[in-house]
Amino acid sequence: MQVQFNTRTILPSVYRTEKDGKEKVYLSTTVFSPQRYNLSPAAGVMPVEQIEAVLAECADNAQEVEIQFVESQTKFGAQMQIFSVKPLAKKNIMESKP
């Protein structure tokens, strides 16, 4: 069986909290409409810990990433289940074009 993923470029955001000595990371992004999606790293192409780390780092650095995902609706709202992530080169908005 072959599974096909969607690909999209996003700018992730991260919210960190600590409870009972354990850090919890919540990841999300806003797309088009704007519509907010919860991001849920999933095992597959990359390990979950690696996906979380890349998304959190890119969120901290305001860096876009390309993701492979499937979209679903949960009781908490729209969700993107992410199977792989690739950081994109940061754009220099101050760079003038010839």
The tens digit of pLDDT for each residue in 12-49 reads: 999 999 989 999 999 999 887 778 889 999 988 899 99
Confidence bin at 90 (pLDDT 50/70/90): confident
Q: How many domains does the chain have?
A: 1
Q: Is residue 27 part of a domain?
A: no
What percent of the chain lies above the pLDDT cut of 90?
A: 55
Q: Is residue 29 part of a domain?
A: no
Compute the C-alpha angle 13/15/20, nearest 5°.
Answer: 160
Q: Is residue 38 part of a domain?
A: yes
Q: Is residue 75 part of a domain?
A: yes
Full residue range of the structural domain in which residue 72 is found: 6-15+34-87
What percent of the chain lies above the pLDDT cut of 70?
A: 89
Beta bridge partners of 50: none
Mean pLDDT of all residues in the chain?
87
Is the predicted pLDDT of residue 54 greater than 60, yes or no?
yes
d(CA 29, CA 35): 8
Q: What predicted TM-score, i.e. pTM, was given to this entire model?
A: 0.69
Q: Is residue 63 part of a domain?
A: yes
**Could you tell me the maximum CA-CA distance found in the chain, to the nearest angstrom?**
55
Q: Is residue 81 part of a domain?
A: yes
d(CA 30, CA 19): 26
Q: Is residue 26 part of a domain?
A: no
Q: Is residue 64 part of a domain?
A: yes
Tokens (6 digits) for 71: 């979209």
Identify the pLDDT of residue 66. Answer: 94
Q: Which helix (H) or strand (E) holds 28?
A: strand 22-31
